[in-house]
Amino acid sequence: MASSRVRLVDLARLAGVTTTTASLALNNKAGVSEETRERIAKLARDLGYVPHQGARALAKGRSGLWAAWVSGPEEVWARWLSGLFAQTSSRVVVSRLPSRDRRPEALRGAIAEGRVDGCLVFDPEGDDAGLQPLWESGIPTVVAGRRSHWFDCVEIHDRQALESLLGRLSLGGRRAVSLVATRHQVHRDDDRLRAWRTAQSELEGASLATVTEDSPEQGIQVASLFLSQPRRPEAILCLAGDKTALGIVREARLRKISVPGELAIAGWGDLPLSGWTEPELTTVSIPWEEVGVRSALALSRRGSRKDLPRTHKSLDARAILRRSG
């Protein structure tokens, strides 16, 4: 194996240890036995392992490199990135956020493999639990799209937009609104689900359906379920997203059900296509580009002054009332 191609993760795998253990051993840090330290050092010499250039940048100061971890649909985080790139001159390495079970070890490996000035985590539907390696490392980190209890964050406030949408769909509280959510949203007891339950508590006929992901195919499936009931819904809110809502619109039209005359439908996310469908989709617009700008500003601030108090910036989502609702 050519020495230029040997990475820390390769060395760790051959030594039968984690990347964190390999890094501790090579840097003479505590937490590794002397036997393991010597074995990893010998293997590194034999393979011609050379530390990542990012680690060398640490000794010289700032590397000018940020790591961005993203989750969810590309059309969403791409908008966030456009705002981020418009605000920063730093180089940004973009990676998909690993699954929850793999996340801690993957982040530890990335931290050990190369040095960055800061990290950005775009994970609107997540939580801080899997980000502990970033917290322990002390790397300046900003979480985008939700509240964080550990890091600087740029949060979306969507309660007012949700209430506006529910008021529109329910005709001011006179009819029930059924909800479509992802299984993940239901599992984590999303605040928006609680708000929907509160608003619908005194109305009969509201039901909840779950989908695995936001997609037109999932919308068609859930529409078949809803629209085959003896007492079918008169209004549906797709918290899962606009794609699911568009699938429901399609299925309703195939069944000759008038939208919005017999069935009012709203999505979530305001994807570009949502304003060009027939009828145009009522939805919620989230300022992802502005979240990206604010994320860059927050990370620059944290990178220059690590002793500053944790910042929490909130941006408002906005209900877009179109003909489907």
Residue 34 burial by CB count (10 A; 0-12/13-18/19+): exposed, middle or buried?
exposed
| pTM of the complete model | 0.76
Write down the residue that tokens 């994320």 correspond to. 295
- Please give the helix or strand (H or E) that residue 112 lies within, else none: helix 103-113
Is the pLDDT reported for residue 259 higher than 70?
Answer: yes
Tokens 């304003």 label which residue?
Answer: 275
CATH code linked to domain 1-51: 1.10.260.40
The 8-class DSSP code of residue 141 comes to E
Cα gap 98→117, rounded to integer Å: 21
pLDDT tens sequence across 41-99: 888 888 877 665 444 444 344 667 899 999 988 889 999 999 999 998 888 989 999 88
Q: What is the pLDDT of residue 170?
A: 93
- The SS3 assignment for 31 reads coil
- Token pair for residue 183? 């299984």
pLDDT given at position 219:
96
Tokens of 251: 């299925």
* Tens digit of each residue's pLDDT (9 = 90 or more) over 194-245: 999 998 888 888 899 999 999 999 999 999 999 988 889 999 999 999 999 9
- Does CATH number 3.50.50.60 belong to domain 159-285? no
Position 169 scores a pLDDT of: 95
Q: Quote the DSSP letter at residue 32.
A: S
CATH number of 61-156+289-315: 3.40.50.2300
What is the predicted pLDDT for the residue at 196? 94
Task: Answer yes or no: same fold for 1-51 and 159-285.
Answer: no
Domain boundaries, the chain: 1-51, 61-156+289-315, 159-285
**Structural tokens at position 159:** 């309660």
DSSP string, 218-268: HHHHHHHHHHTSSS--SEEEETT-HHHHHHHHHHHHHTT--TTTT-EEE-S
Please state, in angstroms and rounded to a whole number, the distance separating the CA atoms of residues 14 and 324. 58
